Structure 1
């Protein structure tokens, strides 16, 4: 019985990690699309949340904010 539980738990962890990767990619794609639409429609009042998303999101969103600020 104990040999069945370990692969099951590992499988659940792998599925959860795959879910998190897709969630991360979806968030990045939505932010990028929003940023490009802001530039396309000359909507330079938009800002991107920097805090609480992790270091890679903070860098990405800071870069988005910097570019939009340069257009203002």
Structure 2
């Protein structure tokens, strides 16, 4: 998967814009932004990024990203 610095910056900007929100709210909003294209990253690219970094994360972090992945996939 080709993941550029610009993609990573966009994802970080989306996360930073949601500081202070609950985890559930943040996951729903991130998924909605990605699905609508407002985040500047396609759903497919976001899913690929998530899958690429999950193996190196701690279990708690993996659970959060897994929730986002399921939300993106409509489950």
Fold shared by both chains (TM-score > 0.5): no
Please state which band the TM-score falls in when normalised by the shorter chain. Answer: 0.3 to 0.5
- Structure 2 length-normalised TM: 0.41
The structure, 1 or 2, with the larger RCO (C-alpha pairs under 8 Å, 6+ apart) is: 2
TM-score norm. by structure 1 comes to 0.42
Structure showing greater radius of gyration is 1
